[in-house]
Amino acid sequence: MTAQKSTSPIAKRVPTVETWHDFKKHDDYKWLKAANWQEVMHNPAKLPKDIRSYLEAENRYFNFAMADTKALQKQLFKEMKGRIKADDSSVPAPQDEWVYQTRFRKGSQYPLYYRQPKAGGKAQLMFDANALAKGHDYFHMESPDLSPDQTLAAYGTDAKGSEFYELRIRELATGKDRRDKLKNTSGDVAWAADGKSFFYTVQDEHHRPLKTYLHRLGTKQADDKLVHNEKDTGRFTSVGTTASERFAAISIHDHETSEVLLIDLAKPKSKPRLVVPRTAQIEYDVQDWQETLIIRTNAAGAEDYKLVQAPLANPTLENWKDLVPHRLGIFLVAFGVFQNYIVRLERENALPRIVVRDMRSGSEHSIAFDEEAYSLGFGEMREFNTEILRFTYSSPTTPSQVYDYNMQTRERVLRKTQIIPSGHNPADYVARRVSAPAHDGALIPITLLYRKTTKLDGTAPLWLYGYGSYGMSMPASFNSAILSLVDRGFVYAIAHVRGGQEKGRQWYKDGKLEKKQNTFKDFIASARYLIAQKFTSQGHIIAQGGSAGGMLMGAIANMAPELWRGIIAEVPFVDVLTTMLDDTLPLTPPEWPEWGNPIVDKKAYENIAGYSPVDNVSAQNYPHILAVGGLTDPRVTYWEPAKWVAKLRGLKTDGNLLLLKTVMTAGHGGASGRFEQLKEVAEAYAFGLKVSGDINVN
């Protein structure tokens, strides 16, 4: 391995061969996976020296190659920071006799959590995350979970990026923490009704949340009662509280099957009560309302989900009755329950709406907007017995807005509009929704944003973002950082490819397992459509995606390298086949329903081997590529982008930039702190601008 900063590092080759289903699998860079990776998640200093040496050499080369963009990065950071209100705060959220709010001090990286008596009086600082973060290169704090009487708050912190949260308990009257200290948790908490104990979930040595415990305040973690031990390592387990705060709900699920256990919070030591047993490919989630359970489910062929109700005393499947019947093509995204209302978020043809149902009369009405593309979501709501629904709205041109909506009178009150201190005029921009034909005739929604003055004659550079996995839909929301690209002449586009749920559950199913190639083909088809429609031209596109979207980047780099000027792959899931063959990794067993299990299924092996980016790198020209990883990332391990870049260096036939940056102090989400995150965005944007050839980097 050469370590000179002015030349690209060459990783040593240590050829290994494995046999799976009579196939020979070659891997020259398997050594980059630390044998003690679990230990590294807890203590990054334990990374073996040869691996650290290679990653640090790549980081030095990254810094050398990007040195001419330092001034640009500073300018981009200044612009993006200038669009963020320095002393921003959330809309106060009422809960009983208090209102709760997060605030930022001018220049602070992390939030401050306040509450104030609803009747008026001095605001009380509950938590200063900036003080808690002192001395840590990385820090993340989960939102505090209040005890029922609001005298205590449980809060989880992660100081390494590995998503092992330490839970502490704070007395809000004194600001002091109790001695309770729970290690290796998921950060989720459900308080018992008496406020003397709570439920929480622990991550095991493989970083899997399988065990749920009951902790009694003042006792040792070793003495906590095991409430549920999930034996199937292919499941995720989490615990939360229903909206009425009557039950703790233990949710057990993978990507296509789920199960819920309820525990009466007034009787925390009682045995968890199963709603209905898990059934393959049937999903459901639960809220309680009076003596009824309200359930969102895909049971009985409800592909795009429906709402059913069942008696709390006997919620077996035969007692499920439709409350909101299934309607094909109208995807039921989420729902919320109040004392007198049920609200649901729906999506039809990639556009969302909120529907309010009055449970007293059965009447319904919708909340929707008129823009071509926009995003809707539920806001912070802490009260069950209320007429007020809080929701958020934004569009590619409209900064985020927070509304309080009276579900009885239908009065809509704007509580907050995101302030852009440096200025923003929505009229200067155009947001559009177009549809690109896929290889099989499907129509792929694409959200576009560009300045009115941008010429649409094929000369503009284009920035194309994509994800397309796990049913995650990419919202058409406002992102102030993107303006730094659009203001420089880029057309910004989001390709809503299959694998997401923008067009319903079938849109997701058509982009997973044996149909995964549709995700990649859709992204390529979107690019070719935008070229044909003169939004840009071939070779003038920067493609970007992260995590499973980074896998998309790796696949389209192999399949259609001529289309892209540059590719930015952040925490990219690119070593798919190797990861799915390793059942000791945190997410492998739970992910088999998404990708297939190549260990036992020869067809799944062949399918994944056909697109897995690392396994399909070949001797051809590639565009400029930037890959970013996180050393303590438990979701996409650091060695995936490292192996991808190492193999690309050995095979590619071009002279384009190939850069790997490993963040040695962070995990899947990158740097912590609202401004440190902007610096990483500025780096990615500077790379795209540097290689685009269309923009002066100075």
Cα torsion 645, 646, 648, 651 to 10°: value is 170
Q: Give residue 695's identity as a one-letter amino acid code.
A: I
Distances (CA, A) of 577 to 609, 617, 622, 648: 6, 13, 22, 17
- Helix or strand (DSSP H, E) at 475: none
C-alpha–C-alpha distance, residues 446 and 506, integer Å: 18
Output phi, psi for 244, to 5 deg. Answer: -75, -10
Cα gap 538→528, rounded to integer Å? 8
- Is-contact 659 625, C-beta < 8 A? yes
Secondary structure E strands in 129-216: 140-141, 145-146, 152-158, 165-171, 176-191, 197-203, 209-216
Nearest to 585 by CA among 543, 509, 629, 639: 639
**Would you give the distance in Å from CA 318 to the centre of its chain?**
35
Burial of 238 (0-12, 13-18, 19+ CB in 10 A): middle
Listed residue (9, 5, 62) closest to 686, CA to CA: 62
DSSP state of 67: G
Residue type, 263: I
Angle between helix axes 674-692 and 70-82 (nearest 10 degrees) is 130
- Asked if residue 110 lies in contact with residue 121, where contact means CB atoms within 8 angstroms, the answer is no
Active site residues: 547, 633, 668
Torsion of CA 598, 603, 606, 607, to 10 degrees: -90
Assigned token pair, 141: 């704090």
